[in-house]
Amino acid sequence: MGTRGVIFLVAIVGLLFIAPIDAQSSDPANPTLTVAAFDLAPWAESDEAGRVHGITFDFFNAITERSGISFKLIKVPYKRMLGMLEYGEADASIFFRSPVSEQISDQLAMVHIVETIIIGLKGTDIHTFDDLADLTIASPRGISYGERFDQDQTLTKVSTNNHQQSIKMLLNDRVDTVAGPITSLYYTFNRAGISKTELGTALTIGQKQAWLQVSRNFTDPVIRRKLTAAVHALRTEGVFKNILNKYFN
């Protein structure tokens, strides 16, 4: 190889190091974003073939149809989802806005609002926070249900992996009550064969807002604006509400 050939080869190798190829998308204007969905039915779960489905999956499919932005969805535990957003291993997710999420991600647009409750089986009626004094409460670890519930050290809380485990503990008399979004709990009770008539009076402990939240490592302003506009439009048109009704009505 002559001198010119050596110089040309060195130049090409140098360019490869200077300009690495985006492995997720061949189109920089429309990259495939990684979504971390928390592993909690009916928001994200896997079928027998290992395919992920659920409300979060349907939400992002709707966002893709509206915005043209593609997503790769990964189902992970809640705390792992937060870590992935914080360190840029995931670009986005839809979950409850909280002081913790505000510290590690940016909130682009609200998707929906849901009541959170504490409930037990029939015969356990809860009317005020004082009624919780002698009760044990199962709740998925890492999820915030409001400052009063989160910070009250007098409450006896038992951390679980998900609502299915919380309700299994309730049915096995290992806890007195379970905490969570009203929609998720009634859905999980129904799948366990428990009707509303078999449940006690629930205490509403607040409302939670689910937001599209993105990693601060994902800074593309054009894509962020597209996502925000898509979520606003889908919520205004009732698309997200229709998705929720498919699971809860």
Same domain, 198 and 124: yes
- Identify which has the larger pLDDT, 201 or 147: 201
Q: Is residue 10 part of a domain?
A: no
Same domain, 37 and 102: yes
Same domain, 104 and 36: yes
User: pLDDT-based confidence at 207, cuts 50/70/90?
Assistant: very high
Q: How many domains does the chain have?
A: 2
- Lowest-pLDDT choice from 25-39, 83-97, 115-129, 207-221: 25-39
Same domain, 50 and 165: no
* Interatomic CA distance for residues 249 and 241, integer angstroms: 11
* The predicted structure's pLDDT at residue 12: 41
* The predicted structure's pLDDT at residue 249: 72
* The predicted structure's pLDDT at residue 245: 92
Distance of CA 22 to the CA centre of its chain: 26
Q: Is residue 232 part of a domain?
A: yes
Helix (H) or strand (E) holding 209: strand 203-215
Terminal C-alpha separation, the chain: 73
What average pLDDT does the structure give for the chain?
Answer: 88
CATH number at residue 94: 3.40.190.10
* The predicted structure's pLDDT at residue 16: 37
Domain that holds residue 174: 114-208
Q: At what angle do helices 55-67 and 239-248 cross, to 10 degrees?
A: 160
Whole-model pTM: value is 0.76
What one-character DSSP code corresponds to residue 122? T
Q: Give the amino acid at 240.
A: F
Q: Is the dihedral of CA 149, 188, 182, 198 positive or negative?
A: negative
User: pLDDT-based confidence at 47, cuts 50/70/90?
Assistant: confident
Residue 140's beta-bridge partner residues?
160
